[in-house]
Structure 1
Amino acid sequence: MHADHETDDHLDRAFLALADPVRRALVARLSRGPATVNELAEPFPITVQAVSRHVQVLERAGLITRTREGQKRPCHLDPAALEALTGWIDGYRLAAERSFRRLDAVLDTLQDPASRGEPEGTRP
């Protein structure tokens, strides 16, 4: 039960972090490689401090990490964190697909034989 609560907390933080368009844009940029906060801030019409706060949210959510390279502290996307999110989503996607396949199968059995090009009475 404890691990589930931790997983839920992690998912909550990650999805809340990704709810913001600026943070999603930062993740998209970091998917192309590491960058400093100043580099990340360049395309945005907001201050470097505002971008830094967004980076902190992503960091607390476990989506990015920061390293030290001399005076620089580049941000790196954490692929394992994104994989955990996509794995969680895929579990529900696969379950929904199975349900739709079952529904399609039921609908196929209910379909009128004439609409499938079968002569009347040939279907068991």
Structure 2
Amino acid sequence: MSDKKPLRVLFCIGVNQNFFDATAEEAKQVWGAFSTMMRGIGELPGVKVLGNLDDDQIMVGPSTNWPWTTYVLADVPDIETVTAACNLFRVTPVGDGTFKLWKYCRVEARVGRELVIPQ
């Protein structure tokens, strides 16, 4: 039996222009959906969220690629779970569900492994 190590994943999340164009009420609904999505990542089987970083105080406007707006670092059991985490952006409803979260933000997952420095 192999001792399969988890994948170390950096979820890079960017906010789209649609969020900045939203009304105050719509933006509030996006925040609610974003919270649901973040909880959803942590609740996926075998996922251990190690931390997050938000650079919204020093980054203004949409992030269409690097640098991203916020990051989540997690240990994830397999690539299928990484895919399921990214899919939360496609399926998480905003407000009445007319739109999904991916209208307002995007995600890119960087997959690797924990760097272990030999003693």
TM-score relative to the length of structure 1:
0.24
1 or 2, which has the higher helix percentage?
1
Q: Which has the larger radius of gyration?
A: 1
1 or 2, which has the higher strand percentage?
2
Q: Which has the higher contact order (CA 8 A, sep 6+)?
A: 2
